[in-house]
Homo-oligomer: A and B are copies of this chain.
């Protein structure tokens, strides 16, 4: 659990970086970049807590997320050129981030007696909604809607947790398997350029 908390901060940090970079792409000012960093980092958790009715929402109950995000925004703005070269490292951290957020969202939903099918949805949404809000704020069709395997990996990981959990496997192993499988699926998808097929309205 302690490790999970570390992972959560890493995820928050990396999500904030991604928000800030997107904002810079759109030529937003410092304030806009900070906001983009914030909503990307906390968007998923906020939606999770609002839907479950667990208020005030988690990130408002402690100062930690606040400072992690501020740190990420400042680092990104100051070391922009360097940060952008770290694509590969960022990708790994981002993947750890979505894996962790999926796990936390799933577990919290189960704790609130939400049915497993919906809890899986909740886990996945916790991971991806921040990025969706980021893209809406920047006036783009959310990246996640036309992109390599991403939310799908979260769903797969959440399902693996549920299956192992029902088989009576220990919590630690369930969690480890979930995080590792999400990371693995995403890496394989990127590596071999796997994507979901697009829908096209044939009009010929």
Q: Please report A residues at the B interface, Cβ cutoff 8 Å.
A: 20-21, 23-33, 35-36, 46, 50-53, 55-57, 59-63, 66, 77, 80-81, 84, 109, 112, 114-115, 117-118, 121-122, 132, 136-142, 144-147, 151-152, 195-202
Contact A139 B141 (CB under 8 A): yes
How near does chain B come to A134, taking the closest CB pair, in angstroms?
Answer: 12
Q: How far is the CA of A161 from the CA of B198 in the complex (A)?
A: 44
In the A-B complex, the 8 residue pairs with the smallest Cβ-Cβ separation, listed nearest first, are A53-B55, A32-B145, A24-B199, A29-B196, A28-B145, A139-B141, A30-B196, A24-B201
Q: Given the complex, which residues of B lie within 8 Å of A24, measured CB to CB?
A: 199-201
Q: How far is the CA of A198 from the CA of B144 in the complex (A)?
A: 27
Q: How far is the CA of A201 from the CA of B51 in the complex (A)?
A: 36
Known: A77-B199, A197-B29. A53 touches B53 (CB 8 A): yes
> Can you sample 6 A-B contacts with CB below 8 Å?
A21-B201, A27-B199, A29-B147, A31-B152, A51-B57, A139-B139
How near does chain B come to A56, taking the closest CB pair, in angstroms?
Answer: 5
Closest residue on chain B to residue A148 by CB atoms: B29
How near does chain B come to A154, taking the closest CB pair, in angstroms?
Answer: 10
Q: Given the complex, which residues of B lie within 8 Å of A146, measured CB to CB?
A: 27-29, 32
- Within the complex, which residue of B33, B77, B195 is in contact with A29, where a contact is CB–CB below 8 Å? B195
Known: A53-B55, A55-B53, A56-B112. A23 touches B145 (CB 8 A): yes
